[in-house]
Structure 1
């Protein structure tokens, strides 16, 4: 019994190549329209669609080339080298598939790992170009269409070659080899002479990327930027960071390294001229032989030609509206042209998003998953549950202001060697050192911050709007860092926690039944006891021997975390939040600087992380290293006294109260 009838097989044989080339064109349209949007959009659906289109595009184009090769070989064998019109026109689609394999300008790599596979793409270039040449030779009959095939083949070969070259250029090995060629002079590091308008912001950002891109990417030590940290506004600083990270994204994930060079411009003119020429000449060929070709194949060819022209024109619009092109206009003094192109520009350079994850909300089971049994059988329940509890939040200027002012005044105080005031806070050592145990410190301080904010909520409100706003901002940082720890641990992992610690705490949290967050806070010691029991049982199942790491975690859960909670409870309200605020304002930039440059770059493809912006600001614009941050308030009396005076500047925090609500 045949699964498919002969008519179905005949229909598939007639339409398989047609469907494949049209699907390949559709995938290119998706990639060129969404490939660049992921730089400034944090939405999950865009990442999923781009991921599917990126993986499918090469497969579909290669599959279509294989079908075309098989078709011409079969007809060549059957008819002893005599090609007919029904074979000649489908063979003409092969160079369009090479064009598609070259990909759009907006995305050459989905992730950094794709750049490391440039040799695989080079091999694909050789094989698929050979297939296209085989089709050309086999289907050659000396007609006008054969000449057009040759023109499109050159355009497709250029596009595919561009992509392979750019992938190699963005590979880690190439970047590491080229870093020795980067010379940095004192004039390069001096940005004090530039203005603060849009054009000079882009120019400053571009110069920073030219200087710091390779060293930062590979975590090389970089020289300090020569600039007065009080000479530019907060808004200007973050605009520079946004533009600079945008340039970094372009260098790693798009054709920008080639596109904005003289050679790249020449190649782009050539491909556009060839594609346009074929688009003009093909209707002449069809009119001359209007009864020779199938109407369906002619229509599909017109669609491919129009699609190729539209993709080229859309790429040109994207180039003209890009930050890099505006830098070129500034360099050549064409400011009037820059203003004329403003209508094509988008002001979005990144997602401006900072996700939140609250352990208390997770404990309360406020967002149960739909169809939990089905998801559990598919082993997707835990991963999707974490995603469900990650709430997206737009970053408001008040949070940027708080972080920037703290780092700025910390730098001024350190460089001026200001002596500590006599009222420096003195608390006992809390048993946590985030410079040695970053992950454990994030977990402990997140728990402490969430619990204290819940228990102190009424007192915080009575203390005044500025104090309430300040505590809300600190909670946002706490929940963002915990979000990174739960969903992106590679950005902050230091090996201080093993793989089962965090899952054990989350699982233990779900075994308790709380009626409110207040009750959860008051019974948190019960949660720690259950977590400890879970770890003990897990160890017995895995191994009969003792495990030092497990014992360390038991000590952490049983002694160190409760000690931290007790120490904070013994402080007055203002002093307690002074300690909590100082800890997060120190730990946040420390974690940003300690995170590897490759990890920062990896997350640029999904809208970017606020941690990356803090990293760039602290390490480049202010000049901090991880050694400038201390793990305990008593060891840094200068910085801890910078926290509360920020509250005496209410004009800096003039945003609506609901904008800083830390509830998740």
Structure 2
């Protein structure tokens, strides 16, 4: 028992020293963590950062409370120890002020600035009370050192709640500068007052393609770089500023600099939301703190150190020197380039890879299931290594720039009804603003429209292609993810970039669907991924379809078999063998209004098969064209019959191989374009607040796309939500025409019938009957959506 009380007495004597040193340790850890938290770091390390962020303040508060209690006791040793540990109080206030690079851990922490202000005020009061009640004025140098430390300690302690307040949604909204916006508008000769004017001028700017010199408005570039955080609260710039944004982004070097520029914007947004680096007074305060801490070291060196407890002298030296070094390094980071740029890698999640890894991690997966951590296990163990995203950003840039230049007509007459023009002799068509809205609402329909126009003369339209885009968005993602994998593993890789880019975007969209469904769009069903996975697993383990008999007990055992360990390509090829024959897939009955995983898998294969047939058709078309050209060339240059036969046979074989490769390349080009459209569609429908929230956890590549869309003048989420009226005539939005689908042929309206209110004309002249559909406003355009069984995502 005596040992216990001795330990208690020892802890009473040493606990304050341990607490202040622990507080110092947490500050160093948080400083290092702040340099890494923009990067893609392991979840366990991110958990340590959160723990240090929470515990660091608790330890500093507990140390101040201990200091307060010690100085209320009458048993202080002649006041000697009270002299020196009082100097620790302002250092603890510096620790409470936290590190510049980690003011808030989550975006919700900013809304708790009042609580942090109350804590700061109470701890400052405690520190001042301890200082006034316990100091003896027999060591003036130490007194000056304490006073000098109190000044930056109090200021830095109050700086944290002030920084949190400035990062709240309300403060960011209030900090917008309408005067700057009006000034920018006044500088324009032809300011864009309406959406129509803006679209006209924006399309003209893209066609003109300004040079780097013309887009070098240094004042505006600074504003553009310093104020991206307004977009995180869904504040759109006026049209005149958006035109200047677009002019900078489409300059000659715009494509090469787009990725780095967007990355810089996201970094500045992170600094405003989660750090003190955007504070205008930050550099001056850091310099003062560094200067005073080094002055305190000199004053302490000249004080009467020998009269104090040696252990306290050592602890004081450690606190002063380490705090001064930490403040110096932190000031250099603030005054220099700031924190490192955020991670620019794109996460990957593949459903076939998910199948292949489950056997390898079976024991850990079962343990995670028992602990209720299965989702975390799936996230950690089944996510494939991320890949660089620069090439994907360039694809998105080309998609947006091509939309402005080739799809959104500056004169409003490029996309016209040719038959009507020939009949009337006039130039009519949908306005550019309608195509602007249509482009923003497209998630594959623009590619479908173009490819169907090219196919009408030679073959039947892409029916499964079209139906896959008319489904809810989460179902479209899983269908296209499977179809991309089917095409990749069943088709010979041409060696081009399009297959790799398509799979990268496909895997990323699958990752968003399974890991971050709330970033896709409201109502996204994460369970679709799991349901399709179980269906594929069943196809790999259930031998019932391969056997002509078997009792029920045997079937149940086979259904419980674990997925054998095989490579992704082996799993994919076996699934392809199953889905080639629809009779081998046992379709389970589903309730009316619900979609089955079996249906999604079959639809994905139908889509993949249609795409591969599309590639074959393209190859035949290209081969016929080249053979015809070769035949004409041969007739002109023939010299000898024998030589002609040989060279003609060899040339035909070369043409066949080349045509097949070009057909495959065209198929992957279509798949790549569809995925780019889906990526942009999803990014444009995620609120800025969600992009700001995910920045605190390392960020997502979807934020790159979202910010690039905003700075290249595309429609913002705020504009969609602020729509005041339904589209006028000609504004078809994201409407998918149904006249090209075989199943909907009966719904087409005969030419002699009078037009109905429910029918709408698309630019190609085809008519889609909208009677069995619902008009759902999705922002700037009312989208006509077919009513399916499950319309959560419509």
Q: Distance in 2 between matches of 1:597 and 1:122?
A: 27
- Is 2:64 the partner of 1:89? no
Does the CA-based 8 Å contact 1:351-1:608 persist in structure 2?
yes
Deviation at 1:487, TM superposition (A): 1.2
Q: Of 334, 342, 354, which aligns to 1:319? A: 334
Number of aligned residue pairs: give it: 579
Q: Distance in 2 between matches of 1:155 and 1:577?
A: 61
Partner of 1:177: 174
Q: How does 1:181-192 map to 2 (within 5 A)?
A: 181=178, 183-184=180-181, 185-186=184-185
- Is 2:476 the partner of 1:477? no
Cα deviation digits, residues 117-158 of structure 1 (max 9, x gap): 101101111111121122112212224334432221221111
Q: Distance in 1 between matches of 2:379 and 2:232?
A: 31
Deviation at 1:181, TM superposition (A): 4.3
Deviation at 1:17, TM superposition (A): 1.2
Q: Of 282, 300, 303, which aligns to 1:282? A: 300
Q: Distance in 1 between matches of 2:588 and 2:145?
A: 73
CA 1:632 to 1:429, structure 2 compared with 1: closer, same or farther past 3 Å?
farther
Deviation at 1:415, TM superposition (A): 3.1
Aligned to 2:394, the other structure's residue is in SS state: helix
CA 1:85 to 1:450, structure 2 compared with 1: closer, same or farther past 3 Å?
same
Partner of 2:437: none
Partner of 2:432: none
Deviation at 1:368, TM superposition (A): 1.4
Does the CA-based 8 Å contact 2:38-2:343 persist in structure 1?
yes
Partner of 1:341: none
Q: Of 681, 686, 689, which aligns to 1:590? A: 681
Q: Distance in 2 between matches of 1:569 and 1:180?
A: 54
Partner of 2:131: 136
Q: Distance in 1 between matches of 2:353 and 2:88?
A: 56
Q: For structure 2, which runs of at least 5 residues remain unmatched after alignment?
A: 192-201, 416-449, 542-562, 616-662, 721-731, 741-761, 766-794
Cα deviation digits, residues 315-341 of structure 1 (max 9, x gap): 222123216xxxxxxxxxxxxxxxxxx
Partner of 1:423: 454
Partner of 1:563: 603
- Is 2:53 the partner of 1:54? yes
Partner of 2:223: 207
Does the CA-based 8 Å contact 2:486-2:608 persist in structure 1?
no
Partner of 1:465: 495
Aligned to 1:351, the other structure's residue is in SS state: coil
Q: Distance in 2 between matches of 1:631 and 1:367?
A: 45
Q: TM-score, normalised by structure 1?
A: 0.78
Partner of 1:453: 488
Partner of 1:27: 26
Q: Distance in 2 between matches of 1:201 and 1:395?
A: 31
Q: How does 1:543-562 map to 2 (within 5 A)?
A: 551-554=592-595, 557-559=597-599, 562=602
Q: Which moved more, 1:19-28 or 1:385-394?
A: 385-394
- Is 2:220 the partner of 1:165? no
Q: TM-score, normalised by structure 2?
A: 0.66
Q: Distance in 1 between matches of 2:584 and 2:127?
A: 65
Cα deviation digits, residues 8-34 of structure 1 (max 9, x gap): 112211221111111111111111122
Aligned to 2:104, the other structure's residue is in SS state: coil
Q: Distance in 2 between matches of 1:170 and 1:529?
A: 54
- Is 2:270 the partner of 1:249? yes
Partner of 1:611: 702
Q: Distance in 1 between matches of 2:467 and 2:337?
A: 46
Does the CA-based 8 Å contact 2:283-2:335 persist in structure 1?
no
Is the helix fraction higher in 1 or 2?
Answer: 1
Deviation at 1:620, TM superposition (A): 1.2
Q: Distance in 2 between matches of 1:103 and 1:153?
A: 15
Partner of 2:372: 379
Q: Which moved more, 1:158-167 or 1:558-567?
A: 558-567
Does the CA-based 8 Å contact 1:356-1:391 persist in structure 2?
yes
Partner of 2:113: 118
Q: Distance in 2 between matches of 1:409 and 1:349?
A: 29
Q: Distance in 2 between matches of 1:95 and 1:130?
A: 11
Does the CA-based 8 Å contact 1:369-1:385 persist in structure 2?
no
Q: How does 1:388-403 map to 2 (within 5 A)?
A: 388-395=381-388, 397-403=390-396
Partner of 1:240: 261
Does the CA-based 8 Å contact 2:345-2:389 persist in structure 1?
no
Larger-gyration structure (1/2): 2
CA 1:483 to 1:372, structure 2 compared with 1: closer, same or farther past 3 Å?
closer
CA 1:528 to 1:102, structure 2 compared with 1: closer, same or farther past 3 Å?
farther
CA 1:297 to 1:478, structure 2 compared with 1: closer, same or farther past 3 Å?
same
Does the CA-based 8 Å contact 1:362-1:389 persist in structure 2?
yes
Partner of 1:101: 96
Aligned-residue CA RMSD (Å)? 3.6
Does the CA-based 8 Å contact 1:355-1:393 persist in structure 2?
yes
CA 1:295 to 1:104, structure 2 compared with 1: closer, same or farther past 3 Å?
same
CA 1:101 to 1:322, structure 2 compared with 1: closer, same or farther past 3 Å?
same
